[in-house]
Amino acid sequence: MPFICYLYEDENQVPYMEILPEASLAEARSLTLDLLHQRPHYGRAELWDGERMVDRFQQDRRPGGAGRGVDATL
């Protein structure tokens, strides 16, 4: 089963969904980070494997930030 990436602009927003090609978890994480980096108007991304969220990423929106922060809450 492929991984699913949800991209959120803000809290309480309907996410944009991207189905990732079947890949390893490491590849899916990398693809999710790339999607988030390519779309700076999205603030957060979630990576799901079926019905289980496996990772969450947050944009680094601080001045001078790299644009790719990782929220290590999972």
Distance CA 56, CA 18 (A): 14
Residue 64's pLDDT is 53
Residue 23's pLDDT is 79
State yes or no: pLDDT of 18 exceeds 70: yes
* pTM more than 0.75: yes
Structure token digits, residue 68? 């790719």
Distance CA 41, CA 8 (A): 9
Kindly state the average pLDDT of the residues 27-42. 92
pLDDT, tens digit, for every residue of 41-55?
899 999 999 999 999
Structure token digits, residue 2? 């492929």
| CA 34 to centroid of chain Cα atoms | 8
